Amino acid sequence: MSTQKIGIIGSGSWATAIAKIVTDNGHSINWWVRKAEHINYFQKRHHNPQYLRNAYFDVTKIQFSEDVKKVVENSDIIVIAVPSIYVETSLKELDANILKGKKVVSAVKGVIPKFNILLNQYLADKFEFPLGDYYTLLGPSHAEEVAAEQLSYLTFSGIHIEQTNQVAAYFKNDYINTVVNDDILGVQYASIVKNIFALGAGIAHGLEYGDNFLSVYIANAANEMRQLLKAIMIQNEQVCDKVNYSASVYLGDLLVTCYSLHSRNRTFGNMIGKGYSVRAAELEMNMVAEGYNACKCIVAINENLNAPIPIIQSIYKILWEGAEPKAAFKEIELILI
């Protein structure tokens, strides 16, 4: 495998975990960090000043830059690891032809809210970027466990399995196992809706529902996710009969995001269930819970799909229409089987 230069766009917890994986594997990286003071801190202390502070780096393997254009120009593989709401602003300085001949790996777990589209669709519209050079990097995994080098599994998706395996090889090591598939559309939507369900799991916990209820809730969420993904695949004229929705990137990621204390969506939902307003929960966390915006986007997308998504619609009413969490979950109780 020929060595290719890897660039990382983003400096949050997941971007930091990805940078750790790649540099631990001996690869040098170009890393876009938005603030100069954070770069200076990183270079002096060898760790991110804001996220995963226990993860230390060999900074001789890192070329930091505040200039996203410079990072992209000097990289062959570009990992985009910013929250979906920041994709447009993060890439706005890039020229239309700058991605030509490069590979893009998406670690974005959300719909771009302004357009209700996935990252690959945004790149195709803005940069005429081909799907054949686009890959996804998804879980189930939490940045905190990756930073602690606890065994995690990453799923890479692309339309060409051989090339996808080549990209995945840059990330495989003693604490990261890699899996590949070609369901590039389905895995992205699965990563989006599992955040909504995890937010709902957090609300349930905040309302003091127990594990028995949560297990039934998650089982129904898994079925709802499967029906939505199948409707999306049919709309896009893709075959879904061979997709294993019990695989780790679908069911596994749903489970860990709903149950784990590391899950920011679960944490966000827990605050809502305990009576926090959305704004108060955002201020308290100081991190982006992708499920909040994703809920609105998925409800809008489903207007053309008409898939049965009663759990998502109930969570939407809580977050965006001011419904009382307790009353909304009383309704959810009645539809669970």
Choose the catalytic residue: 20, 102, 109, 194: 194
Active-site annotation holds for 194: yes
Instruction: Answer for the pair 78, 99: CB distance below 8 angstroms, yes or no.
Output: yes
Instruction: Answer for the pair 152, 215: CB distance below 8 angstroms, yes or no.
Output: no
Sheet strand arrangement including 77-80: 62-65, 29-32, 6-9, 77-80, 103-106, 134-138, 152-157, 176-181
User: Which region holds residue 3: left if phi is over 0, alpha if psi is between -120 and 50, else beta?
Assistant: beta
Instruction: Dig out the tokens for 6 from the structure.
Output: 């890897």
Instruction: Answer for the pair 29, 19: CB distance below 8 angstroms, yes or no.
Output: yes
Question: Which of 319, 12, 36, 330 minimizes the C-alpha distance to 196?
Answer: 319
Distance CA 280, CA 295 (A): 18
Q: Which residues contact 50 (CB under 8 A, 6 or more apart)?
A: 11, 12, 38
DSSP state of 176: E
User: Which region holds residue 116: left if phi is over 0, alpha if psi is between -120 and 50, else beta?
Assistant: left
Distance CA 119, CA 137 (A): 12
Annotated active-site positions, please?
A: 194
